[in-house]
Amino acid sequence: MRYSQLFGKTRKEPPKDAQIASHKLLVQGGFVHQTAAGIYSYLPLGFYVLWKVDAIIRDELARRGVQHMVMPFVHPVSLWKETGRREKMDDILATFDAAHGGEYLLAPTHEETVTDLARTFIESYRDLPVIVNQNQWKYRDELRVSGGLLRTREFLMQDAYSFDKDEEGMSQSFELMSEAYHDIFDRIGLDIIVVRADSGTMGGSNSEEFMVVSDVGEDTVFVCEECNEGINAEAGENDNKCPKCKKALKEKKAIELGHVFQLGTCYAESMGANFNDEDGKSKPLHMGCFGIGISRVIAAIAEASHDDKGIVWPESVAPFNAHIVTIGDSEEVVEMAEDVYDELWDMGIETLLDDRDASAGEKLADADLIGVPHRIVVSAKSIKAGGVEYKSRNSKDAKVVPKEEIMDCITPGVLDEVREILGDNLGI
Ligand SMILES: [Zn+2]
């Protein structure tokens, strides 16, 4: 991609209402644009990040046998009356009357829709267990929104639903998803704490929140600095000790990014989602639900990984792997930049080439703001010194390397990502 043709531009000033770093930087960097209050367009740079987070989630779930599908964003209100949530969630539901008749709503979540599918397609214990997933847009009609992508009305969510024949199966699906979430956040590069809520009846935890400690978070958690165990606010206030190692807990602000939940049979019972068990009896399905706020993850990464110049994207979710900046427009500079650009794309390195007729200062500032992990500067000076100038976004030091060696600077990080996806069978 050539920066001169990129749809969406960096901005000098942050939005007036922006209070937090991720909001400022994602708008200034040209990643997102607010179309209406709490409703965002993802411009190409922002969409590439979204796409990569989405792909990591799909990969970790698919390798565990979770099946991907997509349910509608518009639901008939009648489905929501079956569970009583039409009334219960009234304050955040956006409903409308269709021109041809019928009342509909914009989905804030999908338990009703997936339970309707389950009662249609699951007949017998032989169909179980099953976990289905979608990465789908949601809408919550919140009165007030602020904080950029941290708190929006419309947002992209990964939401998976498990169906099992009994509590034991439900708890196994829960463990599988919880493990997947650890691996997902690991690959995304976020340092997660897990806050458990124990249920007396099931012997294990029936709900876990995946959170990242951040000063701009809206939740309060108590974290053990010894073993990183997280405790929710109520439990932490009662007994200021870590349940694992008995060390003192520290109060912190956190952003909730994911939630895994054992729902039991409540949805199946209210909607009549039953299956025939081995003993010939009809029984309600045991259900679990598992969600990650993908839009919010992007804000959390920008919060966790930035400096005063811009975002520092982790390799795994960066909009591009490499960013070439030309300084000057002499024939030798343009030729070398184009050579490196073609070669990197040929090697599978997604590369942005800043070919604009702009000052060196402006181009380098934009490169820092956008935060691509590997920066390559091509100038008359670098050519005279023997090649191109390489700098990693998270290091202060730049070095000049012959252009043939630029791949050696970039690939270790990129290859880690490829290995992650393909396993060790790659032989590299
Ligand atoms: Zn501890």
pLDDT, tens digit (0-9, with 9 covering 90-100), for 145-194:
888 999 999 999 999 999 999 999 999 999 999 999 999 999 999 999 99
Name which of 71-85, 220-234, 280-294, 342-356 the model is least confident about: 220-234
Residue 226 CA to ligand 1 centre (angstroms): 5
State how far Cα 224 lies from the chain centre. 25
Structural tokens at position 212: 């990242």
Same domain, 385 and 273: no
Give, as one character, the DSSP assignment of residue 359.
-
Same domain, 204 and 303: yes
% residues pLDDT > 90 (the chain)? 82
What is the pLDDT averaged over residues 300-304? 97
Separation between Cα atoms, residue 357 and residue 328, nearest integer Å: 8
Quote the pLDDT of residue 238: 73
pLDDT at 205 over 80: no
Residue 105 lies in a domain: yes
Same domain, 149 and 78: yes
Same domain, 165 and 302: yes
pLDDT at 427 over 60: no
pLDDT at 198 over 70: no
Contact assessment for residue 66 and residue 133, using Cβ atoms and an 8 Å cutoff:
yes
Query: Where a domain ends, among 259, 281, 307?
Result: 307
Quote the pLDDT of residue 354: 97
Residue 414 lies in a domain: yes
Residue 423 CA to ligand 1 centre (angstroms): 33
Residue 224 lies in a domain: no
Contact assessment for residue 277 and residue 283, using Cβ atoms and an 8 Å cutoff:
yes
Amino acid 227 reads C
Same domain, 369 and 413: yes
Same domain, 390 and 272: no
Residue 230 CA to ligand 1 centre (angstroms): 8
Quote the pLDDT of residue 64: 97
* Domain housing 173: 3-219+251-307
Q: What values do phi and psi take at 168, rounded to 5?
A: -65, -45
Separation between Cα atoms, residue 183 and residue 359, nearest integer Å: 42
What is the pLDDT averaged over residues 370-382? 98
Query: Where a domain ends, among 286, 307, 328?
Result: 307
pTM: 0.93
Could you give the number of structural domains in the chain? Answer: 2
Looking only at the bridges linking them, the beta strands covering 67-68 and 130-139 are parallel
Residue 68 lies in a domain: yes
Residue 61 CA to ligand 1 centre (angstroms): 29
Separation between Cα atoms, residue 298 and residue 312, nearest integer Å: 12
Residue 195 CA to ligand 1 centre (angstroms): 12
CATH number for the domain including 330?
3.40.50.800
pLDDT, tens digit (0-9, with 9 covering 90-100), for 210-263:
999 999 998 999 998 888 888 877 776 777 888 788 888 899 999 999 999 999
3-state secondary structure of 158: strand
Same domain, 295 and 352: no
Residue 236 lies in a domain: no
Separation between Cα atoms, residue 231 and residue 228, nearest integer Å: 10
Residue 66 CA to ligand 1 centre (angstroms): 32
Residue given tokens 């565990």 in the structure block: 64
Same domain, 353 and 301: no
Residue 229 CA to ligand 1 centre (angstroms): 6
CATH number for the domain including 67?
3.30.930.10
What is the pLDDT averaged over residues 329-343? 96
Same domain, 23 and 169: yes
Structural tokens at position 356: 């604009």
% residues pLDDT > 70 (the chain)? 93
β partners of residue 156:
137
Residue 60 lies in a domain: yes
pLDDT band at 348 (very low <50, low <70, confident <90, very high): very high
pLDDT at 201 over 90: no
Contact assessment for residue 223 and residue 249, using Cβ atoms and an 8 Å cutoff:
yes
Same domain, 257 and 364: no
Structural tokens at position 150: 């941290």
**Roughly how many angstroms between the first and final C-alpha of the chain, as a whole number?**
27
- Mean of the per-residue pLDDT values for the chain? 92
Q: What is the dihedral of CA 78, 83, 85, 88, to 10 degrees?
A: 130
Same domain, 263 and 411: no
Residue 240 CA to ligand 1 centre (angstroms): 11
β partners of residue 207:
197, 261
Quote the pLDDT of residue 275: 98
Amino acid 245 reads C
Residue 137 CA to ligand 1 centre (angstroms): 37
Residues with beta carbon < 5 A to ion ligand 1? 224, 226-227, 229, 242, 244-245
Query: Where a domain ends, among 242, 272, 307?
Result: 307
pLDDT band at 203 (very low <50, low <70, confident <90, very high): very low
Residue 162 lies in a domain: yes
Separation between Cα atoms, residue 46 and residue 35, nearest integer Å: 14
Q: How many CB atoms lie within 10 A of CB 96?
A: 12
pLDDT band at 199 (very low <50, low <70, confident <90, very high): very low
What is the pLDDT averaged over residues 17-30? 96
Residue given tokens 């060696």 in the structure block: 405
Cβ neighbours of residue 154 closer than 8 Å, sequence gap 6 or more: 38, 39, 40, 137, 138, 139
Give, as one character, the DSSP assignment of residue 376.
E
Give, as one character, the DSSP assignment of residue 248.
B
Cβ neighbours of residue 46 closer than 8 Å, sequence gap 6 or more: 8, 26, 30, 31, 32, 298, 319
Contact assessment for residue 45 and residue 298, using Cβ atoms and an 8 Å cutoff:
no
- CA-based nearest residue to 259, from 309, 208, 308, 301: 208
pLDDT, tens digit (0-9, with 9 covering 90-100), for 97-131:
999 999 999 999 999 999 999 999 999 999 999 99
Contact assessment for residue 365 and residue 384, using Cβ atoms and an 8 Å cutoff:
no
Separation between Cα atoms, residue 242 and residue 250, nearest integer Å: 10
Residue 175 lies in a domain: yes
Residue 244 CA to ligand 1 centre (angstroms): 5
Same domain, 363 and 416: yes
Quote the pLDDT of residue 143: 85
